[in-house]
Amino acid sequence: MEAVASFTCSRCVQAKTARSVAVRGNALLCNGCYGRLQASPTRYEQQQEASGSPSEDMDREAPALRADDLARVVVEELDSGLPHSVVDTGLTVEWKFSVRAEHLLHGTCPVPDEMAGRAAPQEPVDLTFLRGRHRIRVLDEQKGVRLRVEGDHALLTGLVWQPFVLPGTRVSVRWDTWRTLRFAYTPLDEPVVFGGTVVRYAYDPRIMTRELAAFDARVDRVEELVLTALRELGYLDEKGRALLPQEALIRNTVERAEPERPARKKIDGAIERLLSRRVLTWEQGSVDAAVALHYPARRGETPVPLLCYAPTLRDAEREDLRQDAAAGHVMSAHRVAGHLMRIGHLGKDASPEAQAAYREDHVRAGLAGPHELPRGYTYVREHERGM
């Protein structure tokens, strides 16, 4: 379309804002759902035949599912941190995105087509990082960042993200054409502790569940494998809760536990222990004809019991803040708390230094469970930073 529009995707039932919309009959599909359906046309046709129109689907009796179907449910992945809410006035381009682990590891930032089409790839760009809302403060300034085009997407490269920026941090960007880029973090009214990590700026809880480890669940090795599989592969709702049918969770836990796969009995025992401690709970979801998982359950779909991990969320206390003073609150030297960051999905492994640092800090803190760095994560050690 000529302009950005807001619509609700007929498949994932999420509010979307985009210039590209796929249309099939009376159904509107977002770019992600359209791509997934194009990759599986046979399943899509089966789904259309089974469900009919949305109104008919609400009254249709849901089919039964086998255990094998539940073990292979389809969970839609999060977006890759691409720009959204893009506004191009001709003089400025504004957009928003949520930081992903990939951006932090590679020092990159996604750029919308509206900027990529006008910015010169070889010309350095100056950045200003701001703490937004009522009292605007400059947190940092950087020079020499450059634009790079990779396939269908453009990126700014050479960024040095501030240590307090976590995966899931929401960023608002403004580009004054041919001039400075401004990155703004929006502080929360009050800091919170999400899954054991202090968070001071607006964030996407789904990305934090995916890409930060949970410090609020002290577990043994098999329990850790179960939680990791659930948080990395489960369906994520707007609160960051991760959900999967038990059969799918068991299958994924086994497949991801190379080289030492735990027995089914041990995984069942780990799930029971997590349920007894309320680390996991039962919720009700549903799957459609293509075995795509939805939560909450939808009328006309097959109801499915789901194991649910909900990260603890509480107001930050004085001790939490003392250990995690952040830029914008303390402009001089401040401490950045140690945290785990997911990198396995990027095809990377933690360095020997990160593994040794995690092992040492885990032992020093007297935490229960294995002292080895979880597979697929790297460790950012607690450190000091001066602004």
Pick the more confident residue, 15 or 336: 15
Domain 5-67 adopts which CATH fold?
A: Cysteine Rich Protein (2.10.110)
- CATH 2.40.330.10 residue window(s) in the chain: 84-189
Pick the more confident residue, 291 or 305: 305
Quick one: what percent of the chain has pLDDT higher than 90? 32
Q: How far apart are CA 141 and CA 139, in angstroms?
A: 7
Mean pLDDT for the stretch of residues 6-28:
75
What's the whole-number average pLDDT of the chain?
78
Q: In 3-state terms, what secondary structure has residue 174?
A: strand
For every residue of 110-151, DSSP letters joined together read EE-HHHHTTS-TTS-EEEEEEE-SSS-EEEEEEEEEEEEEET
Of the candidates 252, 211, 229, 256, the one whose C-alpha atom is nearest the C-alpha of residue 105 is 211
Q: Please, are residues 95 and 87 in contact by the beta-carbon 8 Å criterion?
A: yes
pLDDT band at 359 (very low <50, low <70, confident <90, very high): confident
Q: Please, are residues 342 and 232 in contact by the beta-carbon 8 Å criterion?
A: yes
Question: How big is the CA angle at 67 (ends 63 and 73), to the nearest 5 degrees?
Answer: 75
**Alpha carbon 68 to chain centroid, angstroms:** 27
pLDDT band at 385 (very low <50, low <70, confident <90, very high): very low
Q: Convert the pLDDT of each residue in 102-161 to its tens digit.
A: 888 889 999 998 988 888 777 788 999 999 866 788 888 998 888 888 777 888 999 999
Check pLDDT > 70 for residue 36: no
pLDDT at 212: 81
**208-311 belongs to CATH 2.120.10:** no
Of the candidates 43, 53, 13, 14, the one whose C-alpha atom is nearest the C-alpha of residue 300 is 53
Domain 84-189 adopts which CATH fold?
A: At1g16640 B3 domain (2.40.330)
Sign (positive or negative) of CA dihedral 345, 201, 111, 123:
negative
pLDDT at 330: 39
Q: Convert the pLDDT of each residue in 64-105 to its tens digit.
A: 566 667 777 878 777 667 899 999 998 999 999 999 988 888
Mean pLDDT for the stretch of residues 22-50:
59
The pTM for the full model equals: 0.67
- CATH 2.10.110 residue window(s) in the chain: 5-67
Q: In 3-state terms, what secondary structure has residue 292?
A: strand
Neighbours of 30 (CB within 10 A): 24
For residue 181, list its beta bridge partners.
Answer: 127, 175
Q: How far apart are CA 75 and CA 23, in angstroms?
A: 22
Sign (positive or negative) of CA dihedral 136, 137, 143, 148:
negative
DSSP code, position 326 = -
Q: In 3-state terms, what secondary structure has residue 380?
A: strand
Mean pLDDT for the stretch of residues 232-255:
92
- CATH 1.10.10 residue window(s) in the chain: 208-311
Pick the more confident residue, 51 or 353: 353
pLDDT band at 363 (very low <50, low <70, confident <90, very high): low
Half-sphere exposure of 249 (CA within 13 A, CB side): 27
Q: How far apart are CA 283 and CA 243, in angstroms?
A: 8
Alpha helices in 150-281 (DSSP H): 205-211, 221-233, 246-255, 264-276
pLDDT at 297: 93
Check pLDDT > 70 for residue 216: no
* Dihedral, 216, 219, 225, 228 alpha carbons, nearest 10: 0
Check pLDDT > 80 for residue 47: no
